[in-house]
Chain A
Amino acid sequence: MRLATALCAAVVALVGPALAAPNVSVDPNAIGKPPIDNWTTFNGDYTGQRYSTLIQITPANVNQIAQQWVYKITNLGGQRGAAPVIKCTPLLVNGVLYITIPDHLFALDARTGKELWRYDWVDHGGHLIGQRGVGIWKSTVYFLAPDNWLIALDATTGKELWRKNFADARKQYFSTSAPLVVKDHVIVGVGGDAMDMPGFLDSFDPVTGNLQWTWWSTPRTGDPVLKTWPNEATSQHGGGMTWMPGTYDPELNLLFWPTGNTNPVFAGQGRPGANLWTESLVALDADSGKLKWYFQVSPHDTHDFDNTTAPILFDKVIDGRPRKLVSQAARNGFFVTLDRVTGKYLVVKPFVPLDYYSGLSPQGEPIPIPDKDPSVGGSINIVNATNWEAPSYSRRTGLFYVNAVEGLAIYYLTDDSAHPSGYSGTGATIGLSRRVLKAIDPLTGRSVWIHEYPNLNNAATTVGPSILTTAANLLITGDDQKNLIIYSADKGDVLWHHEMTANQSDGLITYMLDGKQWILAGAGDSLYAYSLNK
């Protein structure tokens, strides 16, 4: 019945007199390549670096860039009472931009910002907390609805081709992610931690939508890793959602996927053990979904430290030997650099002040101090240091850039029984939260420079938005006073800023179109397009 309603409700709205929408098609072999005149995946390429080789906009001419058009989302009504906020990273193919908010996908003309078509979904459950964007393969766009539908659309017309439901919204699974297209796989992760369900990652056939494989974030019957859980039942209610897109190394054919918090969220007493593979970075074979290695960044998490911040892939020469590495500025406040072939750690080091761990395990995993767990009387610990907003790695500077928050909160346990369920906790921030942009050397975990954002409203523990770097030594990101700011990536000097109508809320992209370098920034309900004034 629910399905029937949804079938009637999903519509494509063609706007005004039909604009000549270019035929959109992308060569599957071009997906994930360094972005120049297209932006074909959530992170632009498969590395997650969000680093552009474009150099038309430079420190010398950056003060000549100006806003060229703005696209504002209007006439959609509220999103269950909340205003629409663009939290996606746009894709760009053949001059067509694809942006999303929960339940809605928009195709825009990249030259003018004019809407070409819009796809509207009427959800039946799921959370409308955000939508990160679409995936694309040949001439098909893949969009996730909040109530866990994978929807395939014609990239030129917006006409729906097929849809597939992959998780039960009644169990509080919900979808916000951008599908990651790798070879002939559409990789789809899922969110939802209100009801103690297990996380999973699905791979679908891009043509038929048939399920190719599923990887579960917690172990199934017979798996030796079950020893990190008290029993199978807790494992199968143990969380580990896969709600942010991962990254991919074509040479290794490995997906690097971050997994979310353990369930029950704040109450760990019912699940003694490390609780694998929640709170981990896992390497999976892209064709089979088989686990190659894992590294658990937050063993036995009790603070909703979703380990879902982007794992960035990069290569360095260490002691004369080329190394394939992966780094993460984790939400639990640790900066982690691993060998991405083996999963062995090189660096595990706090990048915000924290005192909740007693040391590292032989594998390099932080060992949490039990007294720092949420308690009935309240327990002080850090707020989330980072979140889903994308960091960046510059191949020019060799530095890793992340917006972070340094702050504290009192965490309370609201269910101290032997069998807690759901969140089972809550809390309150205390003190001043410091918002910082950090440039971190990924081989030491140390900050090379730090920019502290002045803030009066106690930072609201807001994590700063996504970051983009370019080969012209630019670093682009926003503050929480509505400014889009361009810094020098090597030193952190402010070179340019522009005040928008809201804080930057989405992933930034840059590309060449008609000989000009563009920078796009989403802020609240509006998408801003900048280029050099000529």
Chain B
Amino acid sequence: MRHPFLIAISAGGLALLAAIAISQETQNAAPPSNAPKTNTTPAGGSRAGFNGTPEQRAAATRVFLGLGSEPDKAAAARGAPIFQQNCAFCHGSQAHGAEGPSLITSDVVLGDEHGEHLVGFLKSGRPEKGMPSFAGLPDDQLKDIAEFLHLQVEEVANRGTYHVLNILVGDASKGQTYVAAKCMSCHTAGAFDHFASKFRSPDQLQRGWVWPTRPADKSLAITATVKTADGATISGRVTQVSDFRITLVGSDGQTHIVDRTPAVDVQMKDPLAPHQAMIMTLKNDDMHHVTAYLETLK
């Protein structure tokens, strides 16, 4: 059973885990790894990530959030320098506000789709509030400013568009020391050769070493030994477990389903238990250092 998050990685080069918390579904979704097989509504940002490109993820999140029509990115790119020159002084480079208000939640901006209202607004300005007229700019440039603003709204509101920043903030030499001290009791020399090459980005590397994926060859699968009521012992890879039933696949490939009556004893073993123990005490600095070190192993 592969971890859904890693399905996302392998499938799409997903730049980022979807938003950690879809407020009302963090509830069920919490961080991005919410399993699509549970009854939880795969909320917003996370759903598209499972098998789509970043663009598809952004588009699906847009639909989920009920955002308006998609901004014209080419026009927004043309509008960016015009905005920086004429508007950023008051409204900030990303329109989040500076001397003047943030435009992300502006009624004028949100009431506009593709410049049909904003162009006229920019021409007249709002002199009573100190906003000058921009009638000197041609209509197509004003329209490009409008698209730039819509893109700023998109980049705030649509968390499917989010990307991590440069997460390589650690000290590689300290990371090497940590690995030598803490990891080599389980891992063999050379285990980390070319480690970073396995990941598409440093944040995937970071999550990948902290909590490794369970590979397709089942070598890190959770196993169980079950003593049944009639005294038989069954061992194998666990594919399902609840308070009432356990399903195992034995080494012979046979599936065994056992009802967990009081007479049945179940002992489960997780090969990732040492990583779980490490995670419980892992400090942010050590995590950053190790990631910086492993990133050098390409």
* Beta-carbon contact of A304 and B284 below 8 Å: no
Taken together as a complex, chains A and B put the C-alpha atoms of A505 and B28 apart, in Å, by 10
* Beta-carbon contact of B41 and A429 below 8 Å: no
- 1/0 per residue, CB under 8 A from B, across A117-128: the answer is 000000111111
Instruction: Find A378's partner among B38, B68, B157, B203 (CB 8 Å cutoff).
Output: B203
Q: Report the tally of A-B residue pairs with Cβ distances under 8 A.
A: 292
Taken together as a complex, chains A and B put the C-alpha atoms of A380 and B279 apart, in Å, by 9
* Beta-carbon contact of A383 and B31 below 8 Å: yes
With known contacts A380-B284, A388-B27, A479-B242, A169–B207 Cβ distance under 8 A: no
* Nearest CB in chain A: distance from B280 CB, A: 7
With known contacts A417-B94, A456-B222, A462–B34 Cβ distance under 8 A: yes
**Across the two chains, which residue of chain A brings its CB closest to B3?**
A458
Please report whether the interface of chain A is mostly helix, strand, loop or mixed according to DSSP: loop
Is there a chain A Cβ closer than 8 Å to B40's Cβ? yes
With known contacts A378-B203, A414-B162, A427-B32, A129–B66 Cβ distance under 8 A: no
* Beta-carbon contact of B104 and A195 below 8 Å: yes
**Across the two chains, which residue of chain B brings its CB closest to A270?**
B96
**Across the two chains, which residue of chain B brings its CB closest to A425?**
B20
* Beta-carbon contact of A171 and B105 below 8 Å: yes
Is there a chain A Cβ closer than 8 Å to B119's Cβ? no
Is there a chain B Cβ closer than 8 Å to A428's Cβ? yes
Q: Which residues of A contact B111 (CB under 8 A)?
A: 170
With known contacts A378-B287, A429-B31, A413–B165 Cβ distance under 8 A: yes
* Beta-carbon contact of A502 and B39 below 8 Å: yes
* Beta-carbon contact of B104 and A462 below 8 Å: no
* Beta-carbon contact of B31 and A461 below 8 Å: yes
* Nearest CB in chain B: distance from A478 CB, A: 9
Instruction: Find A130's partner among B41, B206, B270 (CB 8 Å cutoff).
Output: B41
* Nearest CB in chain A: distance from B263 CB, A: 15
Taken together as a complex, chains A and B put the C-alpha atoms of A426 and B204 apart, in Å, by 13
- 1/0 per residue, CB under 8 A from A, across B148-163: the answer is 0000010011110011
Taken together as a complex, chains A and B put the C-alpha atoms of A191 and B24 apart, in Å, by 8
Instruction: Find A426's partner among B19, B28, B63, B66 (CB 8 Å cutoff).
Output: B19
* Beta-carbon contact of B24 and A388 below 8 Å: yes
With known contacts A265-B21, A454-B241, A462-B28, A416–B35 Cβ distance under 8 A: no
Is there a chain B Cβ closer than 8 Å to A376's Cβ? yes
Most buried by B among A124, A260, A306: A306
* Nearest CB in chain A: distance from B235 CB, A: 16
**Across the two chains, which residue of chain A brings its CB closest to B33?**
A429
Is there a chain B Cβ closer than 8 Å to A443's Cβ? no
Q: Which residues of A contact B251 (CB under 8 A)?
A: none
**Across the two chains, which residue of chain A brings its CB closest to B68?**
A170
* Beta-carbon contact of A428 and B207 below 8 Å: yes
* Beta-carbon contact of A427 and B20 below 8 Å: yes
* Nearest CB in chain A: distance from B53 CB, A: 17
Q: Which residues of A contact B164 (CB under 8 A)?
A: 376, 412, 414, 426
Taken together as a complex, chains A and B put the C-alpha atoms of A233 and B111 apart, in Å, by 21
Is there a chain B Cβ closer than 8 Å to A255's Cβ? no
**Across the two chains, which residue of chain A brings its CB closest to B246?**
A454
* Beta-carbon contact of A375 and B159 below 8 Å: no
Q: How large is the interface on A (under 10, 10 to 19, 20 to 34, 35 or more residues)?
A: 35 or more
* Beta-carbon contact of A432 and B270 below 8 Å: yes
* Beta-carbon contact of B242 and A481 below 8 Å: yes
**Across the two chains, which residue of chain B brings its CB closest to A265?**
B21
* Beta-carbon contact of B97 and A233 below 8 Å: yes
* Beta-carbon contact of A421 and B156 below 8 Å: yes
Most buried by B among A405, A408, A458: A458
Q: Which one of B129-137, B166-174, B182-190, B192-200 is at the interface?
A: B166-174
Q: Which residues of A contact B110 (CB under 8 A)?
A: 168, 170-171
Is there a chain A Cβ closer than 8 Å to B215's Cβ? no
Is there a chain A Cβ closer than 8 Å to B86's Cβ? no
Taken together as a complex, chains A and B put the C-alpha atoms of A243 and B276 apart, in Å, by 35
With known contacts A195-B105, A409-B31, A497-B244, A384–B26 Cβ distance under 8 A: yes
Q: Which one of A78-86, A312-320, A340-348 is at the interface?
A: A78-86
* Nearest CB in chain A: distance from B111 CB, A: 7
Q: Which residues of A contact B17 (CB under 8 A)?
A: 426-428
Taken together as a complex, chains A and B put the C-alpha atoms of A266 and B198 apart, in Å, by 29
**Across the two chains, which residue of chain A brings its CB closest to B104?**
A421
Taken together as a complex, chains A and B put the C-alpha atoms of A377 and B170 apart, in Å, by 8
* Beta-carbon contact of A127 and B44 below 8 Å: yes
Instruction: Find A419's partner among B18, B98, B159, B270 (CB 8 Å cutoff).
Output: B98
Is there a chain B Cβ closer than 8 Å to A463's Cβ? yes
* Beta-carbon contact of A80 and B63 below 8 Å: yes
With known contacts A82-B42, A421-B102, A429-B5, A123–B66 Cβ distance under 8 A: yes
* Beta-carbon contact of A411 and B20 below 8 Å: yes
* Beta-carbon contact of B64 and A461 below 8 Å: no
27 contacts between A and B (CB under 8 A): A83-B41, A85-B39, A85-B40, A195-B105, A266-B20, A376-B169, A383-B31, A387-B28, A405-B30, A412-B167, A421-B104, A423-B159, A425-B19, A425-B162, A427-B17, A429-B32, A430-B279, A431-B210, A431-B211, A431-B280, A454-B242, A457-B1, A458-B35, A462-B28, A462-B35, A481-B244, A499-B244
**Chain A contact residues, CB within 8 Å of chain B:** 80-83, 85, 123-130, 146-147, 168-172, 174, 176, 191, 193-197, 233, 237, 241, 243, 260-261, 265-266, 303-304, 306, 331, 353, 371, 375-380, 383-384, 387-389, 405, 407-414, 416-417, 419-423, 425-432, 453-458, 460-463, 479-483, 485, 494, 497, 499, 502-505, 523-524
**7 shortest interchain CB distances as A-B pairs:** A387-B27, A427-B20, A461-B30, A304-B21, A481-B242, A377-B169, A422-B156
